[in-house]
Amino acid sequence: MKKIKGLWIWVFFICLATPAGLMAGGDAWGEWGRDFFQKVLGFVPEGIAKYSGAWHAPFRDYNIPGFGEVTGYILSAIAGIGLIMGAVWLLARGLSGKNGPQD
Amino acid sequence: MHIPDGYLSPQTCVIMYTACIPFWVMSGRRLRRKLNSRLVPLLSIFSAFSFVVMMFNIPVPGGTTTHAIGSVLMAILLGPWAAVTGISVALLIQALFFGDGGILSFGANAFNMAVVMPFAGYYVYRFLNLTRPKTPVRQALNAAVAGYVGINAAAFVTAIELGVQPLFFKALDGTPLYCPYGLAQTIPAMLFAHLTVGGIAEAVVTGGVLLFLRRSMPEIIVDLKIEAVA
């Protein structure tokens, strides 16, 4: 387990560096919001208008309400990791029956 | 490469979820056999690593951005079937909590980045490793090429899913209902972003981390070989 802890320390340091990813302005190709289509095409395709708000993610664009962009981004990275650990644990528990994974 | 909701028709979304189901089931079955080992923490850490790597947006000439994904690294280290689940979990957390990729389009995103990408990369890596010599540097280079091919395979499949939308789904007057760009636009756009910047980022992450682990934590690699769900 000690070796895996060493890997977690690396991942934690990578989290602290994530704000570097904020320096790239603009969206990825094909990941624009409604405004983009309004501006570029002069209209928003019906399905995009209808479904783009199908789900309201609490921390949209890795923003945590109450925190600045950079701090929110780092906190999002850490929160995301916590959520992933929880999800993997639940999944492992579900797959292995009631007692959860051994070890 | 995270398709938001509204870009794909509901029909396409259903097809893509359906396409994922056999891979999720098979992945779950294969993982179940190894769950008593140390696979769970390893799955967590590489899923977490992938989540964090995807936050490093890199500018692409022309005003868009891209990022590495980490699927091929996970496929090489833990096996492609482990990567199916590990990357799907990272994508699900991104969609549910951070709005990165849609919920309706989650099946499509999982198919592209958690199925096509790890398998394409894994088999390219296996193929390249048939040659000698098998030095750590050579294997890291092979992994880098595998990462490059894997992310471009995923980008290509994504471009097809987006590009067929205006062919099949338009209003009576011909206005596109979903992604308005056809294959002639989506394929060059997605491949340009990933053949240049995205592919190089994925190559550096895949080859770099493999070499780093081999050099500074060789015992991890040994463990990982034991856990691999190939």
pLDDT score recorded for residue A100: 45
| Among A12-16, A94-98, A99-103, the least confident range | A99-103
B48 touches A at CB < 8 Å:
yes
pLDDT score recorded for residue A36: 95
Q: Give the ipTM of the model, two decimals please.
A: 0.92
What are B58's strand-pairing partners? B66
Residue B102 is inside which H or E element, if any? none
pLDDT score recorded for residue A9: 93
- Give me the phi and psi of B65, to 5 degrees please: -135, 165
CA dihedral (A33, A35, A41, A43) in degrees, to 10, reads 100
pLDDT score recorded for residue A1: 58
pLDDT score recorded for residue A101: 47
Residue B72, token pair as written in the block: 């091929």
pLDDT score recorded for residue A97: 74
What are B98-135's pLDDT values in tens digits? 999 999 999 999 999 999 999 999 999 999 999 877 88
Residue B175, token pair as written in the block: 């206005």
Q: Which residues contact B4 (CB under 8 A, 6 or more apart)?
A: A31, A33, A52, B101, B102, B105
- Taking an 8 Å cut-off on Cβ atoms, the answer to whether A37 and B158 are in contact is no
**Which residues of chain A lie closer than 8 angstroms to B217, CB-CB?**
3, 6-7
pLDDT score recorded for residue B35: 77
In this structure, are residues B165 and B10 in contact, taking their beta carbons and an 8 Å threshold? no
pLDDT score recorded for residue B230: 66
In this structure, are residues B31 and A71 in contact, taking their beta carbons and an 8 Å threshold? no
**N-term to C-term CA, chain A:** 10
- Taking an 8 Å cut-off on Cβ atoms, the answer to whether A81 and B52 are in contact is yes
DSSP summary character for residue A19: G
Spans of chain B, pLDDT less than 70 = 36-37, 230
DSSP summary character for residue A63: -
pLDDT score recorded for residue B140: 95
Domains belonging to chain B, first-starting first, are 10-227 (1.10.1760.20)
